[in-house]
Structure 1
């Protein structure tokens, strides 16, 4: 015989138990300053005895707020948990949500026509966007939704707060910290296009204006490549001849594969500077360079402890802080572009050559 489901207690049940009007129960939970402290204590005790909990959906309908912040993810959702720096960014968002008593809703996108509807249908009060391209229709949809939003790293879009470091300047700085003039430079790059096409290119294969979103729709990729080009040109290197391995996504194993492929294309046994766009890629590349007799100087990005202790030059620009800044901007509705501080951090284990005045450990 099936046991009947227990009826969920209502506001009227609590009011009867506490000997007050139903409106007093509502005020006790939603507007406690309107109720005498002794009365509210009696209501809360009655609610606890009955197992009553306020209906969050009904409360949201009454207040017009969902009390949730949406995180729109342009990568596979598991990337936010698998990648250490992506996890730090999400942790920063949740830091703010916990302090503001808000929930977090992860909203995946797939690059198809369903993205806009999925994002706009989410019951959230604002959005934080992570990893997308300049022509993503979600950007215009979110900006026109009437809900505040912030995007990490760009692309900049009217109606969205843009939070991130000066990627071009930071990329030039970390490249300049290496012996560019005496070594062969190569690059391991994030994707250049929405299709995430991988392969090995030369500098002359890339568009002249790397910061034009129509040419390189991933703004972080374009800005960092532009910074590397600035540093290489300043060092007298021929940008057109620089080899660039483009990977599909930011994964350590792809960094190892890309580094191995780049090294196979180089002649001779001279020193190499390998500029990679993340610490994960740099650590993967380190596994490949460890199998060669070449002297290889590696750069990464994120300032992770593992990279710094493994001999990698890196750019430290806290993604946890960026997550917090994005969440605050999304909650406040501020639209200013906020450049977060960054610094070049030297490796602790000096088994590579270096030439950078004024650049060193934090």
Structure 2
């Protein structure tokens, strides 16, 4: 390490110490295959003696590559580590970064005017975006910025590769797998808009076209609600009368609060089917809906082992695989996205025990 006030060693200093040309030093650190092994060892030894470290910023400017992948998130950064499925998504991205010798930069957005500058000024080669709202100005800015990008779950946007499951079809399937006949259905929903307003609504309070991004700008929320509605209508339920608890964020404690709020709206003593948009919300709701003196069936999303072991039906669509696919698509500048595989898993499914 250099002492305070001491001049930082340069490529020329290393070249003189190793007895080679400055270009050989540059090749040793930037294109090592072009330098003989013995020469590389001599250059690195000289660099270590002098305390020389390559300037990564200058290297990036010369090569035009930062060797960094940016992950744009519209949640608190702590959410990415607190939520088990968000952590799985990051793990999938990290696997690709490790294999491609890249760093990973987390870029938070706050829903204000500073978001675009913060995202575009990041020293990254490409982006992976976490699901956001359709009117997020970051989408258009990234698409027009020239660096390839993939988005998990949507919204679809020209210039961005979308990676995610068919949320509407999967929501229909998981709801239809439960005993809807004779039961009272309730829904625990992700936010409907950027304000993240919470509360208990009825189906009649929602727009007719749930996939219209102008009225339900979170595409995942709208698609899953549309899927639930299709299954409930097919089973003979009046969607307009279905209670829907909207939560601010995907957190287990908020699922518990939503379950308690829905419990207050229930009448009679018949069975209940609660359709939650994540396993975390389902597990939270289970802790409060389980207090009802009635049969309760709960669905979630993510196919977690904990949910399955707790008696929750779920949709398995690996977020780790989606993180990996997003990173690979961004790095390859793939022109088109794709739907990822999903399956409905019943409580205790043996595929989740390993």
**Aligned residues: CA RMSD:** 1.2
SS in 2 for 1:265: coil
Shift in Å at residue 361 of structure 1? 4.9
Please give the alpha-carbon distance, in whole angstroms, between the structure 2 residues aligned to 1:337 and 1:245: 32
SS in 2 for 1:77: coil
Q: What's the counterpart of residue 243 of structure 1?
A: 243
Q: What's the counterpart of residue 351 of structure 1?
A: none
Please give the alpha-carbon distance, in whole angstroms, between the structure 2 residues aligned to 1:14 and 1:201: 69
1:233-272 equivalent positions in 2, closer than 5 A: 233-272=233-272
Q: What's the counterpart of residue 315 of structure 1?
A: 315
Please give the alpha-carbon distance, in whole angstroms, between the structure 1 residues aligned to 2:350 and 2:208: 34
Shift in Å at residue 140 of structure 1? 0.2
Task: Tell me which moved more, 251-260 or 29-38.
Answer: 29-38
Q: Cα deviation per residue 1:166-205 (whole Å; 9 max; x = unaligned)?
A: 0001101110110011211000000011111111111111
Q: Does 1:229 align with 2:222?
A: no
Shift in Å at residue 47 of structure 1? 1.9
Shift in Å at residue 291 of structure 1? 1.7
Q: Does 1:178 align with 2:178?
A: yes
Q: TM-score, normalised by structure 2?
A: 0.96
SS in 2 for 1:212: coil
Please give the alpha-carbon distance, in whole angstroms, between the structure 1 residues aligned to 2:47 and 2:315: 53
Shift in Å at residue 287 of structure 1? 0.6
Q: Does 1:346 align with 2:354?
A: no
Q: Cα deviation per residue 1:264-319 (whole Å; 9 max; x = unaligned)?
A: 11111110000000000000001102222111000000011110000000001000
SS in 2 for 1:150: strand
Shift in Å at residue 29 of structure 1? 1.4
Q: Unmatched 5+ residue regions in structure 1?
A: 349-359
Q: Cα deviation per residue 1:221-251 (whole Å; 9 max; x = unaligned)?
A: 0000010011111111111111101011101
Q: TM-score, normalised by structure 1?
A: 0.94
Q: Does 1:215 align with 2:215?
A: yes
SS in 2 for 1:33: helix
Shift in Å at residue 260 of structure 1? 0.8
User: Do 1:107 and 1:119's aligned partners in 2 also have CA atoms closer than 8 Å?
Assistant: yes
1:1-362 equivalent positions in 2, closer than 5 A: 4-348=4-348, 361-362=350-351
Q: Unmatched 5+ residue regions in structure 2?
A: none
Q: What's the counterpart of residue 355 of structure 1?
A: none
Please give the alpha-carbon distance, in whole angstroms, between the structure 2 residues aligned to 1:5 and 1:347: 65
User: Do 1:94 and 1:104's aligned partners in 2 also have CA atoms closer than 8 Å?
Assistant: yes
Shift in Å at residue 6 of structure 1? 4.0
User: Do 1:347 and 1:361's aligned partners in 2 also have CA atoms closer than 8 Å?
Assistant: no
